[in-house]
Amino acid sequence: MSKSSALKKSSSSRRFATGPLGKGKAAKFAMVEGITTSAKSAKMLKTHADRGLKGDALRSAIAASFATQKGK
């Protein structure tokens, strides 16, 4: 009899698959790790979030703002 290493549960049950963390859980992880956000970074995040950016678009906008600052 061969052994199967495949998971028995589907990922749709989310039993074994992880979901997105979200801001609340990410903030809790940051507190545990002792990571703080500078005032400049917090302002930049708020500015982009107020424009309605979320997820990948928000990450891209933040990365682009760091890239333009570096090129000055």
pLDDT, one tens digit per residue, over 1-58 is: 566 565 555 556 556 556 677 778 888 888 899 988 888 888 998 999 899 998 889 8
Contacts of 53 (CB under 8 A, 6+ apart): 61
The two counts, helices (H) then strands (E), for the chain are 3, 0
Tell which residue, 43, 33, 39, has the closest CA to residue 65: 43
C-alpha to C-alpha distance for 15 and 1, rounded to whole angstroms: 27
pLDDT of residue 47: 92
Query: Is 27:6 a contact under the CB 8 Å cutoff?
Result: no
Tokens representing 40?
A: 């400049």
